[in-house]
Amino acid sequence: MAQALGFTDEDLRRLAGSRSYERGLGYVSAVSRLEIGETAITAAVDGTDCYQVELTEDGDGGVTGWCDCPYGQEGNFCKHCVAVGLALLGQARSVPQQRSAAASRTRLLDTWLESRTREDLLALVREHLADDRDLRRRLELRAATAGEDTGIVREQILSLLDTRPFARHGYVEYADAHAYGQQAAEAVTALRALTASGRAADAVDVAREALSALGRTYGEIDDSDGLIGDVAAGLAEGHLAACLAARPDPVRTADWLVTHLLDGLNDATDIDLFDYHKVLGEPGLHRARELVVAAWRANPKGWAEKYLMERLLKADGGSVDARVTVHAADLAPNGHTHLVIAKELEAAGRPPEALEWAERGLREAAPECGPDGELVAFVCERYARTGRLADVVTLRRDLLRARPTLAAYQDLRTAARTAGTWKEPERTGAREVLRAVGTPKTGRWYGGSVLVDALMDDGDLDTAWQAAADGYADQPQWLALADRIRDQRPADALTVYLRWIEPLRKQTGDGTYERMTELLLSTRACHRALGTEAEFTTYLAALRADQKRKRKLMAMLDQHGL
């Protein structure tokens, strides 16, 4: 029997955060076309635009969400996902029945297809081929791989990897990457089929062209979801499988591999030279070593040359000192290479030398970029292991003074608390460092300060409020602070919301209307906490009268019960 929902409204709040959850409450009525499948739920949500949402329950009873709104495309569980989740919870009792119905529809379709004759199915396929160009191209490719003309397969595989139909501005954006990835995945299927059909030697050549083609364009694709990376990995696996089946000339194979790995086209595929040891044999491996060493000697600071040389030394069991020599030939200005050397030495049982290299990295880090965060953590951890907690605090304090960021403040706070010194004058001194960075300015709003962020992070909201009043906060910080104090100090929060509503009255656009609606919802919450809802009703009526010509705004206010 179908299972009931495995998540609650509290799960939605946890995934989205309080702010997005509260915004999602106002969008439940905007959910439409809710469709419940066996595992996935899809719906549309009308907001600034009509957004498509998909929720999927995982095996552990949790839920994940995807939405094509800008915030959702960044990987966030957005307010539209919340709205769909809440709409689903509102009809939770009917979910098992709807899932059973979805499963029944699937079984019915399978049964119907199995009952058709060969002629019926051919007619059905041909009918869809006439209307679906993508389906036709995919089946044409599969037919070509079963035939004898490798040239047709090659052309079609390269066509599948062509990004131009998806690159509206010379770049495949996130919204188009999924469709491109689905198309490109067919190239992997075709390549494997070519090998399986007994034409592995042809597959080797086609795979190399395909890998080079994708390598040239991969940097122009927003592959945030990793779909194109999966295609690249599939092509690489297909090339290796074809090589294992065809056994091409090992020396020529070594030439191609090293050239491919050195020319910067391996970012997507991440081919490892030594995965080909069975294909290369000793002659090929010898040739590869010659090429790698020569390339590194010619360009010891080249990233690819350096990486291959390091990989070669590790595979051949080279000494740690030899590896240190390779690393030391090109020290990164942020000390990251010092960290790599330190880790190599520590793994070799030489911790004192490892710490010396790490400390050297801190000293030699360029002021404009500062030391690598992992390097700092490495040194702090080694200090802590030997009881040098005061040295950890000193290091963190120096880093805060050099680069006064919220992260640096948080790191100093953690170190000082561990050492038992997060009290006066340490805490006051740290805050003064941040105060000195953002000097109050008058006459205009300006970017907010780290000081306000740090005070809010400390939970010291009274001091944060005072710092904001002294001019250290920008609009986002004022609003974040208002959200934090709203339950305890609704009157103060109310002044912030009202202040930022006023300039929006003179602006137009969907984004502006959505922002004003959100601020009005927060304003209403403050009035409710203060027991002055009648005052809010009067204010809202006046605002609606003033803004009545903005029909989109009026529709949004109606949608949220304002």
> For every residue of 317-379, which 3-state class applies, written as one string?
CCCHHHHHHHHHCCCCCCCHHHHHHHHHHHHCCCHHHHHHHHHHHHHHCCCCCCCCHHHHHHH
DSSP state of 395: H
**What's the pLDDT band for 446 if we cut at 50, 70, 90?**
low
Mean pLDDT of 93-101: 86
Do 544 and 557 contact (CB within 8 A), yes or no? yes
pLDDT of residue 440: 54
Q: How far is CA 156 from the centre of its chain?
A: 31
pLDDT of residue 443: 39
Cα–Cα distance measured from residue 522 to residue 29, given in angstroms and rounded to the nearest whole number: 19
Look up residue 47 and give its amino acid.
Answer: G
**What's the pLDDT band for 473 if we cut at 50, 70, 90?**
confident
Directed axis angle between helix 227-246 and helix 200-217, to 10°? Answer: 150
The H-or-E segment that residue 54 falls in is: strand 50-57
Q: Which has more pLDDT, 378 or 470?
A: 378
Q: How far is CA 350 from CA 179, 342, 353, 392, 421, in A?
A: 51, 9, 6, 22, 32
Please state which of the ranges 165-174, 415-424, 463-472 shows the lowest mean pLDDT.
165-174
Do 522 and 493 contact (CB within 8 A), yes or no? yes
**What's the pLDDT band for 146 if we cut at 50, 70, 90?**
low
CB atoms within 10 A of CB 378: 24
Count of residues for the chain?
A: 562
Mean pLDDT of 332-354: 93
pLDDT of residue 203: 93
Do 296 and 305 contact (CB within 8 A), yes or no? yes
Cα–Cα distance measured from residue 323 to residue 290, given in angstroms and rounded to the nearest whole number: 17
pLDDT of residue 225: 77
| 268-272: Cβ within 8 A, 24+ apart | 268/214, 268/215, 268/218, 268/228, 268/229, 268/232, 269/211, 269/214, 269/215, 269/232, 269/233, 269/235, 269/236, 270/232, 270/233, 270/236, 271/211, 271/236, 271/239, 272/311
- Kindly give, in sequence order, each residue whose CB lies less than 8 Å from that of residue 171, ignoring residues fewer than 6 positions away: 220, 221, 222
Mean pLDDT of 415-421: 94
In 3D, which of 61, 59, 64, 55 has the Cα closest to residue 87?
A: 55
Mean pLDDT of 513-528: 92
pLDDT of residue 300: 86
pLDDT > 90: what percent of the chain?
A: 46
Torsion of CA 505, 509, 512, 516, to 10 degrees: 60
pLDDT > 70: what percent of the chain?
A: 94
Q: Is the pLDDT of residue 149 over 80?
A: no
Q: Is the pLDDT of residue 250 over 80?
A: yes
Mean pLDDT of 482-488: 91
Please state which of the ranges 129-133, 188-192, 227-231 shows the lowest mean pLDDT.
129-133
Do 56 and 36 contact (CB within 8 A), yes or no? no
pLDDT of residue 156: 85
CB atoms within 10 A of CB 6: 13
Mean pLDDT of 187-208: 91
Mean pLDDT of 221-250: 91
Please state which of the ranges 146-155, 282-291, 532-541 shows the lowest mean pLDDT.
146-155
Look up residue 123 and give its amino acid.
Answer: A
For every residue of 502-546, DSSP letters joined together read GGGGG--SHHHHHHHHHHHHHHHHHHHHHT-HHHHHHHHHHHHHH
